[in-house]
Structure 1
Amino acid sequence: MKFGTFRHAGRTLVGVVDSAAERIHPVDAIDMVDLIRRFDEISPGIHLNGSGMNLSEVELLAPIPHPRRNIFCVGKNYRDHAREFASSGYEAGAVKGAEIDDYPAVFTKPATCVVGPGATVDTHPKVTSAVDYEVELTIVIGKGGRDIARADAFDHIWGYTIINDVTARDRQKNHRQWFLGKSLDTFCPMGPWITTADEVDAENLQVRTWVNGELRQDANTRDLIFDIPGLIETISAGTTLEPGDLIATGTPAGVGLGFSPPKFLKPGDNVTMSITGLGTLSNPFA
């Protein structure tokens, strides 16, 4: 099933999405995190019975517009991207021959930078001149826990969505860490909805990005360096994951810094991302 958060007639609601019919049907939940927490209770009453609203009649928001906590993110998790990043000149302290890390590089993005599909992303020209895009398969935690074993990891996943991990590369380099370059307002488009885990083969998904119609990123989650069970095991080690937590799993090669010269985003650009079975996330930049 697919679930989205939307605004209609001044109200913010959660609904089940019938993407084939292009309709969304409200469900009885306070918000997406409430739905995730009470899914076993709520799901028997969810039916696509011809009611609901056309998607064109509502404003889709990020599936979790206000995450309870920062979003966990993984850097350099596709080999080709790790190499293009290291050779770009934008990775502070890059060492030739050591592009692939022994352990996942984990950072966070604040919940305040989340926006939904179609929302305008601010390029912040007074702050940065090197805005880049990163398509990322994003895990939505359903069952919380700490010290989760990799063998149990998939049992803790409720679903998956798409995140564009927008990045100010100059800030990322200059400050020698990733948080400031990743955390500007609007730098986390998310959506268009969450697809539940039972409908997703997360280890075999095509991940793509187009900028102004030009295909830039095209890879498969089979290519992840650190796989999904390993990421959940690592991030939950000593740290409790909670329902509604988000883990962005990294981006493949083809980001703007990988070109010569770099192809950074500018006002007027449009970035569209798709992942098999998860829909399409598109945002204008200004």
Structure 2
Amino acid sequence: MKLVTFRSSIEAPARLGALEDDLVIDIGFLGEATGEVFPETMLELIDLGPAALSRIGQVLDVTRNKWPLGAALPVEDISLCAPIPRPRKNIFGIGLNYLEHVEETKKPLDGPKDLPEKPVIFSKPPTAVIGPGQAIEHNAAITQQLDWEVELAVIIGRTARKVSEADAMRHVFGYSVMIDVSARDNRRAGQWIYSKGMDTYAPFGPCIVTPDEIADPQNLNLWLTVNGVEKQNSNTKHMLFKIPTLISDISQGITLEPGDIIATGTPEGVGAGRTPQEWLWPGDVVEAHVEGIGTIRHPVVKIG
């Protein structure tokens, strides 16, 4: 299932939907029309657990192509939001998680000489999140080195505390796309949260895809372009620390809760690693894609 958060108009509240080809099915409306009580937000659905997701899937199957009047909305008539517009907690970011990316950061970013022995973890606050099509802000008073990183995002579906790698994937609700926007000239004494956590620095979407639709999350192509020019192109199989390791490692000391998000790291091709270095500027357009999930597209705009 491909799940989205959407608005039917600028003034309308955000609602939960299911993406069906070129239609978005309003889950709450579908429930009302079929005598069911369905959640109206993504976090409510995640909190309810697998049984609620399964029941929604059953009703979608029964009503497919004969949707109740008003339940099915053309994609072009709605606006997609970030799948979780306001996460409850900081996003867990994973740094230096692709071999080639480690190599390209050694000189320009004073990266480690050796491969990390354990996952490198940082965070982005909820206020960094923006949805598909929303603008990435460029404040020249703060940064002259705005960079891009395409990443597979993992959304947690059930509480994970000190879980084993063997059990880790049972805690996954689904997968999405995230761009880890970074102000490279704002790293402070090795700390990354200001560099990576500013407003609009976590573009997220276009949907959350449930695990039954992703045969192998460790074999997904992902790419990123700037103004239509390819900058990153790789596959999640090249992660140094795979998804079960990331979930298990974080959960040893920090409880992962339903709705938590892990951005699993980026492959080579970031602006800082290029010769000469390249940065994002107002007027640029960034597109990021993960196979089986979709594409997000964001303009860069001047503020300040």
Band the TM-score falls in, shorter-chain normalisation: over 0.9
2:231 alignment counterpart: 216
- Separation of aligned partners in 1, 2:162 and 2:185: 35
Please state how far the C-alpha of 1:205 moved relative to its aligned partner.
0.3
Structure-to-structure mapping, 1:9-48, within 5 angstroms: 9=9, 10-18=12-20, 20=21, 22-27=22-27, 28-38=38-48, 39-45=50-56, 46-47=59-60, 48=64
Q: What is the CA deviation profile of residues 21-40 of structure 1, one whole-angstrom value per residue up to 9, with x for unaligned ones?
A: x1100113131011112241
Cα drift, residue 11 of structure 1: 2.2
1:192 to 202, 206, 219: 206
Please report the RMSD computed on the Cα atoms of aligned residues, expressed in angstroms.
1.2
Check if 1:202 corresponds to 2:217.
Answer: yes
Aligned pairs for 1:1-286 within 5 A: 1-9=1-9, 10-18=12-20, 20=21, 22-27=22-27, 28-38=38-48, 39-45=50-56, 46-47=59-60, 48-51=64-67, 52-88=72-108, 90-91=109-110, 94-95=111-112, 97-98=113-114, 100-172=115-187, 174-200=188-214, 201-286=216-301
State how far apart, in whole Å, the 2-side matches of 1:101 and 1:238 are. Answer: 18
So what's the TM-score if we normalise by structure 1? 0.94
- Stretches of structure 2 that go unaligned for 5 or more consecutive residues are 28-37
CA distance in 1, matches of 2:127, 2:117: 31
Taking the aligned partners of 1:49 and 1:116, their CA distance within structure 2 comes to: 28
Structure 1 residue 50 displacement after superposition:
4.4
| Percent of residue pairs bearing the same amino acid type | 40
Q: Which runs of 4+ in 1 moved over 6 A?
A: none
TM-score scaled by structure 2? 0.89
**Quick one: which amino acid aligns to residue 57 of structure 1?**
D
Between the aligned partners of 2:230 and 2:147, the Cα distance in structure 1 is: 15
CA distance in 2 between counterparts of 1:41 and 1:210 reads 37
Counterpart CA distance in 2 for 1:87 and 1:80 is 13
In the alignment, the residues of structure 2 paired with residue 24 and residue 255 of structure 1 have an alpha-carbon distance, to the nearest angstrom, of 34
Shift of 1:139: 0.4
Matched pairs, number = 278
